[in-house]
């Protein structure tokens, strides 16, 4: 991936209805979205020029905005078309797409009932960084310094910018300690997710994943659950406490960015757990890769 700064690149960004030169896609410093985090966004990948689950992402963007009390003045179909326009204008085949909607700068204060709603869509090249084989090495995680909040305290099902404050702080802390990512527990101490991905545990051939009652029910999460069911694997959604890592053989993450990524170590305050990707993880890494690349799934190992 290029290390060019994101505000100083060639290309075009779609801003409020038209493509503008990349460096001109700016907003005012008194934007409500900047001061009060009244912004929602999506993270999408395109493979071979096609955005995976595009409509679902744009419907979720609308749902996120609704949870934040505003309506995006472009329909999901219009956002689909605008995203395709952005890919075409920038010549992107394998990349990442980032739509973001936010309250503008007309009113400056906690209340901003009449601020204009803006929408921008940017995209950049992001080829699959690791082959499935390289990804199977697995990542290392440690406990996040913050916890996912109670649904009574925040709009937890919105992909809202403000909810990433705890993720950025937790991920920075984990990286500072030499880990790849943070494991986010929820306010009850249950396993919730990673900072930008959902989590699955494999225990004696059965897949377990936390009930998404205070975090995003990821599009990749649901896709991978479908793939798992197609292979005949049993999946249980339930509350899971971190002590259960002690009787877990495989752990993997799912998300648009990480796709299906195995976890090889989770270090918590009182215990360090190690995992090895087994048949289930390996099959799902390959099945997801085949699905997004538009290839038929070729089982690495036969179904359980």
Size, binding site for ligand PLP by CB under 6 A: 15
Q: Which of residues 149-178 bind ligand PLP (CB under 6 A)?
A: 167
Task: Compare residues 38 and 220 and give the one whose CB is closer to ligand PLP.
Answer: 220
Q: Which is nearer to ligand PLP, 90 or 220 (CB)?
A: 220
CB nearest ligand PLP: which residue?
A: 218
CA 260 – CA 281 distance, rounded (Å) = 8
**Helix (H), strand (E) at residue 215:** none
Structural contact between residues 7 and 23, judged by C-beta atoms closer than 8 angstroms: yes
CB of 116 to ligand PLP, least distance (A): 26
Rounded to whole angstroms, the Cα distance separating 166 from 173 reads 11
Q: CA 57 to CA 50: how far, in whole Å?
A: 13
| Least Å from the CB of residue 221 to ligand PLP | 5
- The encoded tokens of residue 29 equal 């410093």
Establish whether 159 is a catalytic residue: yes
Q: Nearest-CA neighbor of 301 among 289, 293, 285?
A: 285
Q: Which residues pair with 117 in a beta bridge?
A: 103
Stretch in the footprint of ligand PLP (CB under 6 A) among 115-123, 190-198, 202-210, 269-277: 190-198
x-or-dash string of contact with ligand PLP, 34-73, rule CB under 6 A? ---------x------------------------------
| Binding residues among 243-302 for ligand PLP as defined by CB under 6 A | 254-256
Question: In angstroms, what is the minimal distance from the CB of 135 to ligand PLP?
Answer: 16
- For the window 195-234, what string marks contact with ligand PLP as x by the rule CB under 6 A? -xxx----------------xx-xxxx-------------
Give CA 295 to chain center in angstroms.
23
Q: Of the listed pieces 66-74, 108-116, 131-139, 189-197, which binds ligand PLP according to CB under 6 A?
A: 189-197
CB 219 within 8 A of CB 56: yes
Shortest Cβ 109–ligand PLP spacing (Å): 28
Rounded Cα distance, 182 and 267, in Å: 10
For residues 107 and 155, which CB has a smaller minimum distance to ligand PLP in the complex? 155
**Long-range contacts, 294-298 (Cβ 8 Å, 24+):** 294/47, 294/48, 294/50, 297/227
Query: How many CA atoms are closer than 13 Å to the CA of 196, on its beta-carbon side?
Result: 17
**Given the rule CB under 6 A, which residues bind ligand PLP?**
43, 167, 193, 196-198, 215-216, 218-221, 254-256
Residues noted as catalytic: 159
């Amino acid at each position: 991936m290029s290390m060019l700064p994101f505000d100083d690149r060639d290309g075009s960004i779609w801003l409020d209805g038209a493509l503008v030169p990349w460096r001109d896609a700016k907003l005012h410093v008194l934007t409500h979205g900047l001061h009060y985090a009244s912004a929602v966004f999506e993270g999408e990948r395109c493979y071979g020029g096609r955005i995976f689950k595009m409509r679902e992402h744009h419907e979720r963007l609308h749902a996120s905005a609704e949870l934040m009390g505003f309506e995006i003045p472009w329909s999901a179909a219009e956002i689909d078309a605008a995203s395709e326009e952005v890919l075409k204008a920038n010549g992107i085949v394998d990349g990442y797409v980032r739509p973001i909607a936010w309250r503008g700068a007309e009113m400056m204060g906690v209340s901003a009932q009449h601020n204009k709603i803006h929408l921008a869509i940017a995209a950049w090249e992001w080829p699959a960084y690791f082959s499935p084989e390289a990804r199977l090495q697995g990542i290392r995680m440690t406990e996040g310094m913050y916890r996912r909040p109670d649904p009574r305290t925040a709009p937890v099902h919105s992909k809202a910018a403000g909810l990433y404050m705890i993720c950025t702080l937790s991920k920075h802390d984990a990286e500072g300690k030499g880990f790849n990512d943070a494991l986010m527990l929820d306010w009850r101490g249950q396993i919730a997710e990673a900072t930008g991905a959902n989590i699955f545990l494999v225990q004696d051939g059965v897949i377990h994943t936390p009930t998404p009652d205070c975090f995003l029910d990821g599009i990749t999460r649901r896709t991978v659950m479908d793939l798992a069911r197609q292979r005949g694997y049993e999946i249980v959604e339930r509350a899971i406490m971190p002590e259960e890592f002690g009787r877990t053989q495989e752990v993997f993450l799912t998300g648009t960015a990480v796709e299906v990524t195995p976890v090889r170590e989770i270090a918590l305050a009182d215990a360090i757990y190690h995992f090895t990707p087994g048949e289930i993880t390996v099959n799902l890494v390959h099945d997801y890769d085949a699905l997004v690349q538009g290839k038929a799934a070729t089982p690495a190992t036969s179904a359980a």
